[in-house]
Amino acid sequence: MYNIKCDVAIVGGGPAGLAAAVSAKENGAEKVLIIERDSSLGGILQQCIHPGFGLTRFKEELTGPEYYSRFTAKTDELGVEYLLNSMVLEVDSENKQVICTNSEYGLTTVSAKSIVLAMGCRERTRANIVVPGTRPAGLYTAGSAQRLINRQNIMVGKKVVILGSGDIGMIMARRMTLEGAKVVMVVELMDYLAGLTRNRVQCLDDFGIPLKLAHTITAIEGKERVSGVKIAPVDENKKPIKEKEEFVECDTVLFSVGLIPENELTKKAGIEINRVTNGPTVDQYMQTTAPGIFACGNVVHVNDLVDNVSKESEVAGKYAAEYALGTLTKTVKEVAVQVGRNVRYLCPHKLNIGDKEQKVTLYFRVLFPENNVVLRALDGDKKIAKKKELRVNPGEMCSITVDALKITSNAITVEVVKEA
């Protein structure tokens, strides 16, 4: 078997892996190796040709390729190494080894001092949400349609219904319209938008594409190819109201119904998975429950903006480098991170507090939309951080920063409360 040795091995060369690699190098790791299954770096951003990336990080509106190119320029400059066309089969958390197949070397073992998991996420499919009906051609997840159109020059349909108002679905509604397809409607089960308001305005409203909130597809019809779908409004329990069902003609259905962190390798490595996020449990170093194994980006929790992924991955890269160098701060106290009112989940899930000063940013998503609220972090009963927001909604992530050394109890709680 072919063997490679390195300081930090990174599984995945998308935005998370690239940012982690740059940060690991900048923080002193000598040999950093990215292992990527695709034939090029950049991950999903390679097919995200639309603008909207980098507004918080670079203060300009970049397209996906422009965004990742800023990172690949850095990885090249710093001498990050990479192994492309390499599918990782196993991560051995005890021996810190990554076993992969490479088209050139065959079965390959990468031995590292620390490992960063940056595998990203995959789309939920029709099977995940169980839509009744036939199984004709013309059914795609929004992301696979995006890859076919934007990277492989294959147009997927002419008359499209999109299920789910996630960002990828709305982006594809615009993309297909610009390419000459007719997007009949976007159907959303919830009574609010799943993605960003900006995308609703610029991808749907701009082209007069109707958004059907509190509706769902009740059946897919067609033998060889999709001939149409049945849609119906839903009641307060999300059950379709059958009497109001109607037929909508189309030849293509795109599913934009959520993303799932891709954690087969993580689970196999015996790393603890959080039940809400479906990603590994991590501390503020982005270290998983296996010492020396870090994780970042959408493999941990599905982020709203790539800017947030980059930031979080830089944290993982930095501490993975420190772990490899043996300089990572020893934990003196463990603090649990708990969800309070209108918080669905928090990341990191726990804090391993050392004896050094550290500002920790906790990222979270709310359960339901609200206006004029205060985000608060409580240490026991004591307020330790507070931030006002005009509006919060489940589609956009919130964050609050706390001073780790100032925490006195064994648990902090983050909550969203109405302004007094």
Partner 1 sequence: MVKEIICTVCPRGCHITVEGDNGKVNSVKGEGCKRGLDYATAEFIAPVRILTTLVKINGKENELLPVRSNKPLLKEKLFDCMAEIKKVSVNLPVKMHDVIVKDICGTGVDIVATKSLN
Instruction: Write b or e for each residue in 58-76: b if 16 or more Cβ atoms lie within 10 A of its Cβ, otherwise e.
Output: eeeebbbbbbbebbbebbe
88 is written with which tokens? 């990782």
Q: Which is nearer to partner 1, 149 or 217 (CB)?
A: 149
In the complex, the smallest distance separating the C-beta of residue 389 from partner 1, rounded to whole angstroms, is 8
Hey, which residues between 205 and 264 contact partner 1 (CB under 8 A)? 205-206
The whole-angstrom separation of Cα 48 and Cα 67 is 10
Q: Which is nearer to partner 1, 197 or 327 (CB)?
A: 197
Closest to partner 1 by CB, 398 vs 414, is 398
Query: Bridge partners of 88?
Result: 100
User: Of 14, 18, 6, nearest to 316 (Cα)?
Assistant: 18
| Cβ–Cβ < 8 Å for 15, 54 | no
The answer to the question of residue 178 lying near partner 1 (CB under 8 A) is yes
Q: State the nearest-atom distance from the C-beta of 311 to partner 1, in Å.
A: 18
**In the complex with partner 1, which residue's Cβ is closer, 259 or 305?**
305
Question: Of 71 and 323, which CB lies nearer to partner 1 in the complex structure?
Answer: 71
Sign of CA dihedral 271, 272, 278, 279: negative
By the 8 A CB rule, do 149 and 50 touch? no
Q: With beta carbons less than 8 A apart as the criterion, state whether 373 and 418 touch.
A: yes
332 lies in the site for partner 1, by CB under 8 A: no
The residue among 372 and 401 lying less far from partner 1, judged by its C-beta, is 372
Question: In this structure, are residues 122 and 255 in contact, taking their beta carbons and an 8 Å threshold?
Answer: no
> Which residues in 335-350 are b (16+ Cβ under 10 Å) and which e?
bebebbebbebbbbbb
The span of 43-51, 80-88, 314-322, 399-407 binding partner 1 (CB under 8 A) equals: 43-51
Interface with partner 1 (CB under 8 A), residue from 1, 130, 332, 390: 390
| Burial class for 246, CB neighbours closer than 10 Å (0-12, 13-18, 19+) | exposed
Q: Do residues 352 and 284 lie in contact, with contact meaning Cβ atoms separated by under 8 Å?
A: yes
In Å, the largest CA–CA distance within the chain is 66
Residue 33 or 343 having the CB closest to partner 1: 343
Residue whose token pair is 């929790």:
301
Residues in 348-387 at the binding interface with partner 1, rule: CB under 8 A = 371
Which tokens sit at 377? Answer: 């972090």
Task: Report in angstroms how near the CB of residue 205 gets to partner 1 at its nearest.
Answer: 7
Contact track, partner 1, 101-140, x by CB under 8 A: ----------------------------------------
Binder of partner 1 out of 26, 49, 124, 214 (CB under 8 A): 49
Rounded Cα–Cα distance for residues 393 and 81 (Å): 40
Cα(218)–Cα(230) distance, rounded to whole angstroms?
5
In this structure, the number of other CB atoms found within 10 A of the CB of residue 133 comes to 18
Q: Which of residues 196-215 bind partner 1 (CB under 8 A)?
A: 196-198, 200-202, 205-206
In the complex with partner 1, the residue whose CB is nearer, 179 or 334, is: 179
- Residue 51 C-beta: closest distance to partner 1, Å: 5
Cα–Cα distance for residue pair 345/66, rounded to 1 Å? 31
CB of 179 to partner 1, least distance (A): 8
Q: Is 391 in the site for partner 1 (CB under 8 A)?
A: yes
Tell me how many residues contact partner 1 (CB under 8 A): 29
Q: Which is nearer to partner 1, 185 or 366 (CB)?
A: 366
Q: Which stretch binds partner 1 (CB under 8 A): 26-34, 60-68, 227-235, 283-291?
A: 60-68
Residue 259 vs 398, nearer CB to partner 1: 398
Measured from the CB of residue 86, what is the shortest distance to partner 1 in angstroms? 22
Q: Is 76 in the site for partner 1 (CB under 8 A)?
A: no
**Which two three-digit tokens encode residue 238?**
């999300």
Name the residues that contact partner 1, by CB under 8 A: 49-51, 61, 63-66, 69, 150-153, 178-179, 196-198, 200-202, 205-206, 371, 390-393, 396
